[in-house]
Chains A and B, each alone.
Chain A
Amino acid sequence: MPAPTPEEVKGLVGGGAGSPVIRKILDSDILHSFRSSKLTMVAAVIVLLCFLGALLAPWIAPFDPFDPAKVFLSDASIPPVWQQGGDSRFVIGTDDQGRDMFSAILYGLRVSLAVGGLGVLLAATIGITLGLVAGYMGGRIDAIIMRIADVQLTFPAILIALLIDGVAQGLFQGLPREQSAIPVLVISIGLSFWVQYARTIRGSTLVEKNKDYVHAARLVGLPAPVIMLRHVLPNVIGPVLVILTINLGLAVITEATLSFLGVGLPPTQPSLGTLISIGNKYLFSGDWWIVAFPGATLAILVLAVNLLGDWLRDALNPRLR
């Protein structure tokens, strides 16, 4: 086997060979492989539960942790119900402000998944668009886009988020973080993760654009955007699903890390990451539940998402099975 080009190697990190995904999903093979893997099914159920919990948080959470009038400081740092000093109202205890941990985790999931999901979608939109254009147009446009990708790769997500946060602070001076945090985080994540999509899509597009159906479409006289969107896109979108899934986990971790470094969501509107960074302060002091439950939730969620991503990659790449 000849050594792959750098582009191919870089593409491998995201993984997955490209082939039309819709057909694949309908393929009973995939459903079969899904049913045959218990771990994958468990992961899918966990992810589903997390999404449901996040969506339905206002209805199923016993308290509203975002309403300061309903949070009582005198309830602060109550341990879980099975420990001495527990309170039956707060099954897994309260945080340092007296918020019910269970409710806070549900609402935190909501924020984390919203930030992660929107961020990843933004990344995919930017990446797919630029990748298609770069691959299809080629030449100078391709070079410029891929150089931008290089520049952007210079800065990992954390750095980009710090930068965007700084710029946002400069632009909206005095705007409370409660209002600015979510858009800033979504943009940070969107701008940090688009390169992978662009590179993958560009690679597949380079292959597809020399195929007969594209030549045919061009001969018929269809405009380039139409060919790209209607004809090329469906044939190159496959790997994007895998990257989307894996990136969702990464995006949630990125959000948590930013909160740890102090540029994420404020403690008045905690995401899972903020809850962990609040709890982190109490790790040594014995109030283990403030960090343990959000930490475990985050780890299990990301783990399940990654398991799904792994399975999806293997399922879409039959040679690896």
Chain B
Amino acid sequence: MNLRKYLLAAGAALALSVALSPAHAVSLRYANQGDLKSLDPYTLNETTANAHLGHVYEGLTSRGKDLKVGPGLAERWEVLDGAKRWRFHLRKGVKFHNGEDFTADDVIFSADRVRATGSNFQTRVPKGAKFTKIDSHTVEVELESPNPIMVAQWDTWYIMSKKWAEANNAVAPTPAAATTPSHSSLNTNGTGPFRIESHQPGVKTVFKANAAWWGKKEHNLTEIVFTPIPNDATRVAALLSGEVDVIEPVPVQDIARVNSSNTAKVLAGPELRTIFLGFDQIRDELLESNVKGKNPFKDVRVRQAFNMAIDKETIKARVMRGLSTPSALMIAPSLFTHSKDFTSPKFDPEAAKKLLADAGYPNGFEVGMDCPNDRYVNDGQICQAAVGMLARIGVKVNLNAQPKAQYFAKVLKSGGYKTSFYLLGWTPGTFDSHNVLFDIHGCRADGSPRGESNLGGYCNKKVDELADKILVESDPAKRDAMIKEAFQITTGEFGYVPLHQQALSWGVSSKVELSQRADNSVLLYWAKKN
């Protein structure tokens, strides 16, 4: 093609693009700091990815703006035989984006696919659960043992089309480590209020409203254009100059500036993720310390001293600029009714020093600390602040603040829990205390998922027993009492240093109305743009 033809083609393309844009198209432009990598809904269990794909796919259940579980693709369900048998009545008249009907076959197919090798969502469906088709729109699930909270995470177990998957060689889930591109990681076919029109990972993803959606739409959008903007300053600038309508997150230090502009405001609120410090209390000698032959963190007085040396209020005021909720517990107050019965140990460096001296460390000791610096809100600064506060009780902390990729590779189970002292954040996926007690307080044991994210190896058999009882207890009052008992044990032993629940901070153009959910899922199907 010669140059003239190129120019002509360009002119024609330009004219077309102008002519084709509809007069009343409402396009919402949304920027997040992270990418949307795979479109396969079973690849990666991560809040941001789940929220993105939640526009396209739907689960049997849904969670509302207040996180309450409600009907989704299942209109209603019955819990039978003491939570050993569940019957789901599927919604009729629902169509996938390619026009196929949604039926019980799709649910059964999805239940197999989500448990298949390569899925990151295998825990969504209990081991050994048997799915049976009663009729085209009724499915029954039979469990090996009772599980009253089975559907707690089903709002993000997205239902896929059996026919579509089979026709496109996408029956197997795309593992996070797929070496060949799969159809389902680049294409979608859901039932949700939006469908994906184009997807260029790391650059741009365009969602178009699904006119044939079964639900009552609460948005007025024709399309959503998603762009990842990792740089904080650039993301804020893009919001302020009106290039994007919604950003997540707004760095806490820029909240005042965004609010003082007349083009955008910040939607803020407490998030459900708890940020905390953890100790290696299982090794006989710390990996990174000048204390040899023993592990100072095995002594409860040392852990108590650390708890008393950290000034959570100053971290809130200075590092988080007022946008955090200091926490006494390892779970957010809104997720556990008796949270207010717990208070943080008093900030008292002198008493902490005395505790250290009683434990045999009058001059403190040295310890290495692992910290991510691009994962949580101001995580690097929090760790730095902790280093200063611990220095004043004589503990010299050698901070290793690192990108999350290196951090997780070092401290997680797959890296051999190679840490002595660390900062981590945790949101219980079930929005329930059992997850906290099981995953980050449970005694680690080979071959069991219990305590898998308990990086420091805190262990108390009584807590494990309580956790098992809590799982099957269906009386809320009894259940909460047991949870309280468990947390009394863990806080009494100073197993962790809970710091705070960080703040949600979304930047929203003044043209946009949006409701914010406390799990930090940005769900734009509740957005209106004027």
Contact = CB atoms under 8 A, between A and B. Distances in A.
Given A73-B315, A74-B318, A267-B401, A286 B257 contact: yes
B319 interface: yes
A71 B381 CA distance: 13
- Of the listed residues B232, B385, B398, the one surrounded by the most CB atoms of chain A closer than 10 A to its CB is B385
B323 to A, nearest CB: 13
B277 interface: no
B388 A176 contact: no
Interface in A50-102: 67-69, 71-74, 76-77, 96-98
Given A73-B319, A73-B389, A284-B233, A169 B406 contact: yes
Contact of A69 (B318, B373, B388): B388
Given A73-B315, A284-B236, A266 B401 contact: yes
B392 A280 contact: no
A253 to B, nearest CB: 19
Contacts of B400: 174, 176-178
Interface string B286-319: 0010000000000000000000000100110111
B387 interface: yes
Nearest to B400: A176
Contacts of A96: 253, 318-319, 381
Contacts of B267: none
Interface string B366-410: 001000011000001100110111111000011111110010001
B418 interface: yes
Given A67-B391, A71-B388, A174-B410, A262 B233 contact: no
A74 B384 contact: no
B257 A284 contact: yes
A234 B240 CA distance: 59
Interface string B491-522: 00000000000000000000000000000000
Contacts of A311: none
A287 interface: yes
B384 A97 contact: yes
Contacts, number: 86
Interface in A281-302: 281-287
A76 B256 CA distance: 17
Interface in A104-129: none
Contacts of B401: 177, 266-268
A77 B318 contact: yes
- Of the listed residues A74, A266, A280, A285, the one surrounded by the most CB atoms of chain B closer than 10 A to its CB is A285
A68 B388 contact: yes
Interface in A26-46: none
Given A176-B368, A266-B399, A284 B254 contact: yes
B399 A178 contact: yes
A234 to B, nearest CB: 46
B398 A176 contact: yes
A169 B403 CA distance: 12
Contacts of B392: 69
B257 A98 contact: no
Contacts of A286: 256-257
A258 to B, nearest CB: 14
B270 to A, nearest CB: 21
Given A174-B410, A287-B253, A73 B311 contact: yes
Interface in B96-130: none
Name the prevailing secondary structure of the A interface residues: loop
B101 to A, nearest CB: 50
Give the size range of A's interface with the partner.
20 to 34
A183 to B, nearest CB: 16
A204 B92 CA distance: 85
Contacts of A97: 381, 384-385, 388
Nearest to B419: A174
Contacts of B410: 173-174
A63 to B, nearest CB: 13
Contacts of B399: 176, 178, 266, 268
A169 B400 CA distance: 12
A2 B194 CA distance: 67
Nearest to B388: A68
Contacts of B233: 280-281, 283-284
Interface string B211-240: 000000000000000000000110011001
B387 A268 contact: yes
B148 interface: no
A267 B253 CA distance: 17
Interface in A268-321: 268, 280-287
Given A77-B318, A286-B257, A72 B236 contact: no
B253 A282 contact: yes
Contacts of B381: 96-97, 267
A18 B137 CA distance: 88
B319 A285 contact: no
- Of the listed residues A67, A69, A72, A286, the one surrounded by the most CB atoms of chain B closer than 10 A to its CB is A69
A73 B317 CA distance: 9
A72 B388 contact: yes
Given A69-B388, A96-B381, A268-B399, A174 B418 contact: yes
Contacts of A176: 368, 398-400
B146 interface: no
Interface string B26-66: 00000000000000000000000000000000000000000
Nearest to A175: B400
B251 interface: yes
A173 B388 CA distance: 25
- Of the listed residues B232, B257, B318, B368, the one surrounded by the most CB atoms of chain A closer than 10 A to its CB is B318
Given A74-B318, A77-B318, A285 B254 contact: yes
Nearest to B392: A69
B388 A267 contact: no
Nearest to B315: A73
Contacts of A76: 318-319
Interface string A242-262: 000000000000000000001
A177 B385 CA distance: 17
B318 A68 contact: no
B492 to A, nearest CB: 28
B456 to A, nearest CB: 16
A262 B253 contact: no
Interface in A204-242: none
- Of the listed residues A68, A169, A262, A281, the one surrounded by the most CB atoms of chain B closer than 10 A to its CB is A68
B480 to A, nearest CB: 36
A267 B380 contact: yes
A68 B391 contact: yes
10 contacts: A69-B388, A73-B319, A73-B388, A74-B318, A96-B253, A96-B381, A97-B388, A262-B403, A268-B387, A282-B253
The 8 closest A-B pairs by CB, nearest first: A69-B391, A285-B253, A176-B400, A68-B388, A76-B318, A68-B391, A68-B387, A73-B385
Given A68-B391, A284-B233, 13 more contacts: A69-B388, A69-B391, A69-B392, A72-B388, A73-B314, A174-B410, A177-B400, A177-B401, A178-B398, A262-B403, A266-B401, A267-B384, A268-B384
